[in-house]
Amino acid sequence: MIRRWIAFLACGVAGGAAGWWLASREGLAWGLLLGAAAWQLIDSWYARRMLAWLRSEQSNETPLLMAGAQPSLPGVWGEAADRIRRLLKNSHQQYSESQARLDEFLAALQASPSGVVLLDDEGRIEWCNQTAAQHFGFDARRDLQQHIANLVRDPVFNAYMTAASFLHEVVILGSSSTPARPVRLSVHVHRYRKDRKLLLSRDITALEQAEVMRRDFVANVSHEIRTPLTVVSGFIETLQTLPLKKPERDRYLALMGLQSQRMQTLVDDLLTLSRLEGSPLPGAHEWTATASMFAQCEQEARALSSVIAAQGHELTFETGPACEIAGLRRELCSALSNLVNNAVRYTPGGGLIEIYWTMLADGRGMFCVRDSGPGIAAEHLPRLTERFYRVDRSRSRETGGTGLGLAIVKHVAQRHGAELRIESQLGKGSCFCIIFPAGRVRRQTQPA
């Protein structure tokens, strides 16, 4: 401020001195006046320059431009401009930092597997992530500020929003839901800051399906075990209460043995399935020769065939080129013998069953079990590998089937990166093939 006064006085003194020199005493007053006016003019010019700078600053709002346009004004104007510039620079920096934090926060919400929608007090969409947009069929940009009730038409959802009691979640159908493929969403609203709302949505279709499968599985297992168990306990009661002769007792004991064998097989298959689900994927370091698998399988198949059908079956085993498969021998043998056993069990005595291994042109290897049995109607084919799914229930039970054989085969195939292919026609027999990827098959260089 002192400098400002000094500048003002200096202008006055200079003007006065000039006036005195030009027109002595009379000129002094004019000189002083002109000096003060000159000072005022210069000061106004500084003020205008600063205003112009401030205006341009406000229109641009960039610290870089502000720094570039920094006025080199003297005295109080220069200091004021400098302070304003620093203030603007700081506030811009703070703004950039909070913008970056907000972007990070939104990116985290964007990455959330749940759908997230922010609603204002009126229920209008302020922001939503891509998952929510997918769940509800929103356009994440176009639908901003739209009322959510206008976009989500599900009556359950509308009742939930109208009731405004958000203690629990509701389940509604997703926008991509179709009668054939329903998509079920769990939606939960949470209030924050008085009446603003955070809406979270989760796709629970798979979860619900898994729950249904779990319940079905438990019911099926209980049913499968209860049937032989009822028979066994009935026989025990008979043996305990009736004075039976030895041949009768022996017959009952044999039947009890059969039922307990059935339970044993079921438990074995269940354990196999749970092992397959729980163990790590088979690596590519253990190699199993196809010929040795065939040898083991052939023995079992011939023994089963003689038990099931009096006249047996015509069984042919073609081991094809000597090869090895990368995978667990126990699992591979179990898959192959399940297919062969099914062929033997479902093909009437005297029927033809061909088991062969072949290499495909692209390096893949294929196991096939073809039979001349009753065949399977097309509508059953997609469901054959489901647990406990049976086409011929009585034939399956009669021959000691558990309904888990093909589920085991499918699991083993998947674990080895292989494909299970089923071809069948009613009355024309069936063909079950497992096709192993080229990376898991190699020609055997030395005999096993």
Q: Least CB distance from residue 404 to ligand ADP, whole Å?
A: 6
What is the nearest approach in angstroms of ligand ADP to the Cβ of residue 346? Answer: 4
Residue closest to ligand ADP (Cβ): 405
Closest CB 286 distance from ligand ADP, rounded Å: 26
Those residues whose C-beta lies under 8 Å from the C-beta of residue 438, and which sit 6 or more positions away, are 362, 363, 364, 365
Q: Are 433 and 320 in contact (CB under 8 A)?
A: no
Rounded to a whole number of angstroms, the distance between the first and last alpha carbons of the chain is: 104
CA distance 204 to 188: 13
Task: Please tell me the distance from the alpha carbon of residue 91 to that of residue 78, in angstroms, as a whole number.
Answer: 20
Residue placing its CB nearer to ligand ADP in the complex, 119 or 407: 407
CB of 348 to ligand ADP, least distance (A): 11
In the numeric block, which tokens belong to residue 90? 């700081």
Q: Say whether residue 430 binds ligand ADP (CB under 6 A).
A: yes
Instruction: Give the other-Cβ count within 10 Å of 210's Cβ.
Output: 11
Query: How many C-beta atoms surround the C-beta of residue 181 within 10 A?
Result: 8
Q: Does 373 help bind ligand ADP (rule: CB under 6 A)? A: yes
Provide, rounded to whole angstroms, the least separation between the CB of residue 414 and ligand ADP.
15
Q: Output the smallest distance, CB 262 to ligand ADP, in A.
A: 11
Instruction: Check residue 273 for interaction with ligand ADP (CB under 6 A).
Output: no
Total residues at interface with ligand ADP (CB under 6 A): 21
Report the SS3 class of residue 446: coil
C-alpha span between 385 and 374 (Å, rounded): 18
Candidates 34, 161, 403, 411; binder of ligand ADP (CB under 6 A) is 403
Q: Using the rule CB under 6 A, which residue among 73, 336, 384, 441 binds ligand ADP? A: 384
DSSP secondary structure string for all residues of 203-225: E-HHHHHHHHHHHHHHHHHHHHH
The stretch near ligand ADP (CB under 6 A) out of 67-75, 102-110, 274-282, 390-398 is 390-398
Binding test (CB under 6 A) with ligand ADP, winner from 15, 174, 282, 405: 405
Q: Of 8-16, 166-174, 186-194, 405-413, which segment contacts ligand ADP by CB under 6 A? A: 405-413
Cβ-based nearer residue to ligand ADP, 148 or 384: 384
Q: What residue has token string 């929003």? A: 161
According to CB under 6 A, which one of 84, 114, 391, 442 is a site residue for ligand ADP?
A: 391
Angle between helical axes of 246-278 and 405-415 (0-180°, round to 10): 20
Site for ligand ADP in 31-50 (CB under 6 A): none
Residues in 120-149 at the binding interface with ligand ADP, rule: CB under 6 A: none
Q: How buried is residue 242: exposed, middle or buried, by Cβ count under 10 Å (0-12/13-18/19+)?
A: exposed
CA 71, 72, 75, 78 torsion-angle sign: positive
Q: Quick check: 401 binds ligand ADP (CB under 6 A)? A: yes
Q: Which is nearer to ligand ADP, 259 or 396 (CB)?
A: 396
- For 75, left (φ over 0), alpha (ψ -120 to 50), or beta? left
Convert residues 330-359 into a mask of x (bound to ligand ADP by CB under 6 A) and - (unbound). Answer: ------------xx--x-------------
We find the least distance from the C-beta atom of residue 407 to ligand ADP, in angstroms, to be: 6
Q: Which stretch binds ligand ADP (CB under 6 A): 39-47, 62-70, 206-214, 395-403?
A: 395-403
Smallest separation (angstroms) from ligand ADP to the CB of 244: 33
Which strands sit side by side in the sheet containing 419-424, from one edge to the other? 314-318, 352-359, 365-371, 430-436, 419-424
How far is residue 138's CA from residue 147's CA, in Å, rounded to a whole number?
11
- Which stretch of DSSP H or E encloses residue 102? helix 75-111
The residue written with tokens 């304003």 in the block is 84
Q: Specify the residue, 19 or 405, whose C-beta has the smaller distance to ligand ADP.
A: 405
Q: Give whichever of 63 and 405 is closer to ligand ADP, judged by the CB atom.
A: 405
Minimum CB separation of residue 279 from ligand ADP in Å reads 21
CB nearer ligand ADP, residue 164 or residue 307: 307
Is residue 371 at the binding interface for ligand ADP, with CB under 6 A as the rule? yes
Distance of CA 248 to the CA centre of its chain: 60
> Interface with ligand ADP by CB under 6 A: which residues?
342-343, 346, 371, 373-374, 376, 384, 389-392, 396, 401-407, 430
